Amino acid sequence: MKLLGATLWLLLLLAAYWIGSNAAARIGPAAASTTSFEAALDHRDPLARSFQISRFLSGVEAQGIDDVAEAVEAEGHRFDRQEHRLLMAAWVPIDPDEAALWAFSRPGILRERAADAALEALGYSSAPRALFFLESMKDRNLSDSLHLSVVRGWARSDYRDELSDYLAAQPPSVYRQQALAALANEILKGGPDELIGWVDSIDAEPNSSFKRTAFQKAAHALAQRDPPRAASWVEEHLSRPYALRAPNVVARSWAEKDTGAAMSWLVSLPQESTQKDRVGPMFSQWLGRAPRSAENWIRAEPPSEARDPLIRIIIRSEFERRPAVAMEWAHLLHDPTVRKRVQISAGRSWYRKDPDTFMAWLPEGGLEQDVRDLILNAPMRQQFRSQDQPEREPTS
């Protein structure tokens, strides 16, 4: 993945970061001795430990960094991922190069924790410097894996617009998808209106793939917090190509909280604005996981063309082993042509398996006369169909 955009753009952005970072002096309490930091590391109560570490690091100065690093090294694996983030938030503004070198010198999992924290802090304080650092790395796999760390820090800074422009200039990739998800979640911390405003401000052209990915990631982030709000927003954009997959994204998140509400929303959408067979897979999963809830929901839904394919999923699941149940569901089909065809197939299957029960049911079964005749007077070839080749529920 190409991590750098135009060199001039990065240099200008680096200058802007330099001006911004020097406009405000670093404010914090007076630096304390490293003894107090070592005392903080002795705490095993997580609240007291985190408070004391943060308190010390907020006032640490350049001359004390070496002693801090030595204390952290002595702490070993007990110095966890979040504490590395606190350390780098303090160290990177003082000496970013030295902080990064120390982070990458750590062994094993400690290197992973420290490098992730260092690049996140560097992304927050100077994204251009962080990008240059990644580009200079020889291990491209490691560089790519740390790209998201830079983005997470950058997304919290005052330069989100620059991050959005940078990501728009990158080619489509899994890294860009992850970065947009991180940016969307960070923007959402400011509220749904801020997130929606950001996505709506993105031009659909010329980079429609960027708009599409940003829209999907924002819809997912919003649906995790407020599914109805996400659904309402997505509906406003259904006619646009970049929103084609967004209903699926919202429905999946919504279904984790209320599957019935998610399904009702999906079947209410105009068919011409939805992807083929968007609802079926979700309903099938629900039917397998909680059949009673799924069946109760579909019985409560008003008859419609959108509901018919879901009823037929139930019919197919019952057709071979319980044709009487399949017949019951066939009565609920909305399309009269499909309903008759399915009733005939279910009736023939039932008649072959249990003719006495079927004939006892038939007078009060509510079938139209032509359907009854076609069940009882099946073509000759049906009479000789072997029991191991039963009638199949029609698929179209």
Locate 378 and state its tokens.
């099946």
Nearest to residue 176, comparing CAs of 202, 211, 201?
Answer: 211
* pLDDT of 2 strictly over 60: no
304 — pLDDT class (breaks 50, 70, 90): confident
- CA–CA separation, 61 vs 90, rounded Å? 9
* pLDDT, tens digit, 9 for 90 and up, residues 50-98: 999 999 999 999 889 999 999 999 999 999 999 999 999 999 999 999 9
pLDDT given at position 138: 87
Residue finishing a domain among 160, 190, 216: 160
Residue 353 lies in a domain: yes
Locate 300 and state its tokens.
């409560």
pTM of the model: 0.78
* Structural Rg of the chain based on CA atoms: 31
Same domain, 184 and 262: yes
Same domain, 6 and 152: yes
Residue 20 lies in a domain: no
The domain total for the chain is 3
Same domain, 137 and 184: no
pLDDT given at position 320: 84
Same domain, 124 and 223: no
DSSP 190: T
**CB burial readout 327-360, b (16+ within 10 A) else e:** bebbebbeeeebbbbbbbbbbbbbbbbeeeebee
Same domain, 55 and 149: yes
Same domain, 195 and 156: no
* pLDDT, tens digit, 9 for 90 and up, residues 204-227: 876 689 999 999 999 999 999 999
| Percentage of residues in the chain having pLDDT higher than 70 | 85
Looking at per-residue pLDDT, the higher value among 12 and 49 belongs to 49
Residue 379 lies in a domain: yes
Residue finishing a domain among 266, 285, 306: 266
* pLDDT of 241 strictly over 80: yes
| Percentage of residues in the chain having pLDDT higher than 90 | 66
Same domain, 148 and 220: no
272 — pLDDT class (breaks 50, 70, 90): low
Same domain, 98 and 230: no
Residue 325: CB atoms within 10 Å: 16
Residue 281 lies in a domain: no
Could you tell me the residue range of the domain that residue 231 belongs to?
171-266
Residue 55 lies in a domain: yes
Same domain, 146 and 180: no
* pLDDT of 16 strictly over 60: no
Residue 22 lies in a domain: no
DSSP assignment of 216-250 equals HHHHHHHHHH-HHHHHHHHHTTTTSGGGTTHHHHH
Same domain, 182 and 152: no
